[in-house]
Amino acid sequence: MRDNLGAGRDDFYSALMQAHEGLSEAQSHQLNVRLVLLMANEIGDLKRLRAVIELAGRCER
């Protein structure tokens, strides 16, 4: 997969961590699920979504 984050990478990562600050673990899981759904809608294209689902699953094993 191509690197798309570019110069904003560190800003993105810290924004993501900040979003989780002060949340319980259960609230963090809920936030992550909402993020997955919202990001999926931003990507939109089923082919690309399948590709990232497959890639994420492959790292798990």
Partner 1 sequence: MPAYQYEPFAYIRPPELDGGRSQAPIAIVGAGPVGLTLAIDLALRGIKCVVLDDNNVVSVGSRAICWAKRTLEIFDRLGVGERMLDAGVTWTVGRLFHGAEEVYSFDLLPEHGHKYPAFINLQQYLVEQYLVERCHDFPDLIDLRFLNKVVGHAETSTGVAVDVETPDGPYRLQAVYLVACDGANSPTRRRMGLDFVGQSFEEQFLIADIEMTQSPFGNSGVAERWFWFDPPFHAGKSALLHQQPNGIYRIDLQLSGNVDARLEATPEQVLPRIRAIVGDKPFRLDWVSVYRFRCAKLDRFVHGRVIFCGDSAHVVSPFGARGGNGGVQDADNLGWKLAALIQGIAGPGLLESYNAERGHGSAENILNSARATNFMTPKSPIEALFRSETLRLAHSQPFAQKLINSGRLSLPCSLEGHSLQTPGEAPLRPGSVVLDLPLADGSWLVEHVQGDFVLVGFGDIALPEVADLRRLGIDQAGPYPGFASTGDYAATRYGTGLAYLFRPDGHVAAVFAQPSADQVSAAMQRALGAVDCAVAA
Helix orientation angle between 46-60 and 25-43, rounded to the nearest 10 degrees: 140
Q: Which stretch binds partner 1 (CB under 8 A): 6-14, 17-25, 32-40, 47-55?
A: 32-40
Binding of partner 1 by 37 (CB under 8 A): yes
The least CB distance from residue 9 to partner 1, in Å, is: 26
Residues in Cβ contact with 19 at an 8 Å cutoff, skipping those fewer than 6 apart: 31
Question: Token pair for residue 3?
Answer: 């690197």
Question: Token pair for residue 18?
Answer: 């900040």
For partner 1, the binding residue among 9, 20, 34, 48 (CB under 8 A) is 34
Nearer to partner 1, 5 or 35 (CB): 35
